[in-house]
Structure 1
């Protein structure tokens, strides 16, 4: 386990710096995005963004990329390379996973599909409790806004639009979010808590809360835990990126196929499985994770100090 070195920045300072870098990068990215919208889409699109931005997919994509995807990636890279000056330890991008780990990650993500549905339904039930009524109303407002935006972004009339979504929502988002959360943040929390399990779970909680979509908090938390352990056990960021891409990419492809009536499965349907399916999903995920841990931990690279 890695502990802070003498004269190194304390975990608290590292956490504060990473937070400031991320917020700053997102604000600067947003300003750049609005500038691009004004130049290429016109001032009318810029002025109307607050009222009808969800209808202007070009404007939405520009802001999504500049204030989200690129901003998080830049914040993580600057932190790892310029602040702590240990990109290998904080980004963990120098080691590629073995082919067997790639297959295991793919299998884990698909085996967990039913489990994610169960957590989503449980999430809905928890937010229907009376004592959470005020919070649930606020969360529903945020959820509706996010759903409206995603509906606009996920309107894929051609296969090229689907491939674009697969690239941005699937791959680039997976890289930027994993570099930031499972790379930098999780490493900071390992050093802070001196407990890799605590680091994985706290990172997953922050990761899920960061999206401000609390009707999907539990399944996103579970995904964050899966990504976190995949990275922690292997010492590489790429299993987390691959798992993240499989999750996001599957949503893109399934939505595209449903929109074009190639499949009947509605991606928004949260009642596909029964309790038997949930139990089988849990058993398979736990079994595959145990196999992943044994294989990944046996080849883990220990950072030199």
Structure 2
């Protein structure tokens, strides 16, 4: 038979041959005891392997030798990490910013800033602004909160309580088109952490949500004030059905009867579906340490 790879084989083919030889050299009866050297592989394949590492693991990989360090410093890898942890970074970078020269430097600044933010939102945001990785406007900050996957819900909540303009921008980024009301409310509290107790700020949030939900679903025939009442009722129902301290759970009949006078014109089937959704899928503001879900406790 002819050669599998001719003498003029591509680097990828040569890389496969080196990798196969490295694995077979350990014998057929036992697993390899060491990872094959990335220098045996084409750079494209080596970078593809390293793309599965976290930032910390990537930095450690760069300590192996000079070649691994060169691979670990690849802008392609650090750009991927930036977008993985902070989403569409272009949406919150300062306007008119010069093209990014080093994604690794950007990642490290964002990482330091996010860690500071999770300790104190004011200090963390100030660090990000001073280092020019988040723009100064409410729109930039709202986009940063919307895109980031690394922020603690408590700290996001504190910032939004103090910066109502940022809250407006963040809510404006949410799309609830054709989303069932309880699911839209869950999505809202994923982005905008709910306060731990009922009060003025919760009412403010529900007002913002109701307005945005109406803007996204004008053809639904659900007025903004009706949406507000339904949202508050869904929160109360979530607590009632989910709390182990409530022995006598609200029935579907009671839920519908309580709402009929307050939301006249809303079809009974719609109210039935609202109740069923909470019964089957649980609280509209689930607890979580990070912003990705929520930390509400009504």
- Bigger radius of gyration, 1 or 2? 2
Higher relative contact order (CA closer than 8 Å, sequence separation 6+):
1
Higher helix share: 1
